């Protein structure tokens, strides 16, 4: 029998496009404290991926967006010999509707960045790759 604590944790991230910019948050909690990434978090039981992405977006930033499609899924596996955690992040492409946003929940800071600016940030793994995918699909 598998221990439930060793199962991957499903989470949704909101990849919000506004013109040529994307919304990122600087995390205030481990494991990515201080790094920039997309707003997101765990999917609650009975919650859809889309609903989770939009809820987390609102909780972390106050920004409103319309979900367009599931963009991709990412495995985030951290090890220290044994597996520390395994998240499956489901990236939801969203189109900005309103709000400049303000940091809340586990976001220390928020910002709107173009691809060149994202490239220079200290960020979580795969952020730049997902940002490029989002911009290619956002047209």
pLDDT one-digit tens code per residue, 65-118: 999 999 999 999 888 888 888 999 999 999 999 999 999 978 899 999 999 999
Residue 57: domain span:
4-137
Which 3 state secondary structure label does DSSP give 20?
A: coil
Q: What is the pLDDT of residue 72?
A: 98
Could you tell me the pLDDT band of residue 1, with boundaries at 50, 70 and 90? very low
Asked whether 107 and 26 are in contact (CB, 8 A), the reply is: yes
Among 8, 14, 9, 5, smallest CA distance to 94 is for 14
CATH of residue 69's domain is: 3.90.79.10
Question: Cα–Cα distance between 59 and 41 in angstroms, integer?
Answer: 10
- Res 55: pLDDT: 97
Local confidence band at 32 (pLDDT 50, 70, 90 cut-offs) = confident
| Number of structural domains the chain divides into | 1
Average pLDDT, the chain: 93
* pLDDT the model gives residue 3: 56
Greatest Cα-to-Cα distance within the chain, rounded to the nearest angstrom: 49
Q: What angle do CA 45, 51, 52 make, to 5 degrees?
A: 60
Residue 78 to residue 67: CA distance in whole angstroms: 29
């Amino acid at each position: 029998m598998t221990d439930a604590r060793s199962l991957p944790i499903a989470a949704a991230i909101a990849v919000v496009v506004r013109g040529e910019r994307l919304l990122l948050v600087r995390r205030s909690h481990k494991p990515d404290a201080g790094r920039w990434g997309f707003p997101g978090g765990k999917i609650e039981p009975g919650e859809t991926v889309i609903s989770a992405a939009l809820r987390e977006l609102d909780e972390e930033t106050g920004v409103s967006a319309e979900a367009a499609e599931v963009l991709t899924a990412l495995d985030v596996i951290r090890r220290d010999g044994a597996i520390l955690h395994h998240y499956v992040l489901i990236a939801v492409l969203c189109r900005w509707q309103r709000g400049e946003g303000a940091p809340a929940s586990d976001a220390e800071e928020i910002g709107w960045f173009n691809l060149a600016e994202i490239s220079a940030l200290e960020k979580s793994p795969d952020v730049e790759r997902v940002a490029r995918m989002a911009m290619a699909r956002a047209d």
